[in-house]
Amino acid sequence: MKRTTSSGEVPTGYDPLQFPAFAVTVDVVILTVSDGALHLLLVRRGESPFEGMWAIPGGFKRPTETLDEAARRELREETGVDVASLLVQFGAFGDPQRDPRMNVVTIGYLAVIRDVGAIVAGSDAADAALIPVSEVLDGKLELAFDHRRIVCDAIERVRVELAVSGIATAFVGTTFTLAELRGVYEGLWGVQLDAANFRRRVVNKDGWVIPTGRRARPGLAGGRPAELFRVGRAWNHSGLTHPQRNHQEREVE
């Protein structure tokens, strides 16, 4: 008969060796917009398995740390990026064949940020860089382990959030151009949106975006600088609906 105590003591006769051992890792998906396109922070593995292949930052959880602590540590050690307050869990992946070394369960973390800052490869990473998400989604760039699936699940999570929250504004600065904001939707939805229709959709009386009266810095190509906008109160309640998932939104295609 097992002993149950308020102190949390191990029950009499309990043998943990009766259960198969497995390891726990954390993997971190960092999404950002760079040069007008959606990018993903990746590291090039410096050791086997999958040495030389690109992967999302991550590693084994230490016995004395929490999952959150492990995610922050691995991200910082492998890339030099520290976005502790923005990391959220979005899924767990436990296919027993996902890691050739042993049975490994990984916890997926996600952060959507405006500016990654300086990226410095460290720990067991041979390199670290921002890579266009499109290269992963279309199969041009193969990732180690099951990291493509993890990335796809993370992006699907953000796609859902686009329709129910103002998460799109997390990719842009305090002020932004409509082209920058449109690029977030195009990168996540995988569609091309008409610029004029997109402007009509977000610049309206409901207060999605509000003109600041200022303009962006002139580009190298010259021409009139783009108008700058800031977030309106409507973003606090919902987001834009995917034009291919709701027939009422065909106007923004």
In words, the CATH class of domain 162-252 is mainly alpha
- Dist. CA 131–CA 185, nearest whole Å: 17
Q: What is the pTM of this model?
A: 0.84
> What residue spans in the chain does CATH classification 1.10.10.10 cover?
162-252
pLDDT tens-digit readout, 159-202: 988 877 778 888 988 899 999 899 888 888 888 899 999 998 88
Would you state the structure tokens that stand for residue 237, as one six-digit string?
A: 């309640």
- How confident is the model over 67-100, as pLDDT tens digits? 999 999 999 999 999 998 899 999 999 999 999 9
Q: Nearest 5 degrees, angle CA 21-CA 26-CA 32?
A: 165
- Which CATH number is associated with domain 19-147? 3.90.79.10
Give 26-35 pLDDT, tens digit per residue: 999 999 988 8
Residues 132 and 176: beta-carbon distance below 8 Å = no
- Alpha helices for 32-119 (secondary structure H): 67-79
- Two tokens, residue 2: 């097992």
Instruction: Find tokens 């998460």 and name the residue.
Output: 167
Residue in the structure block whose two tokens are 């606090």: 236
Which amino acid would we find at residue 93? F
Which residue did the predictor score with more confidence, 207 or 203? 203
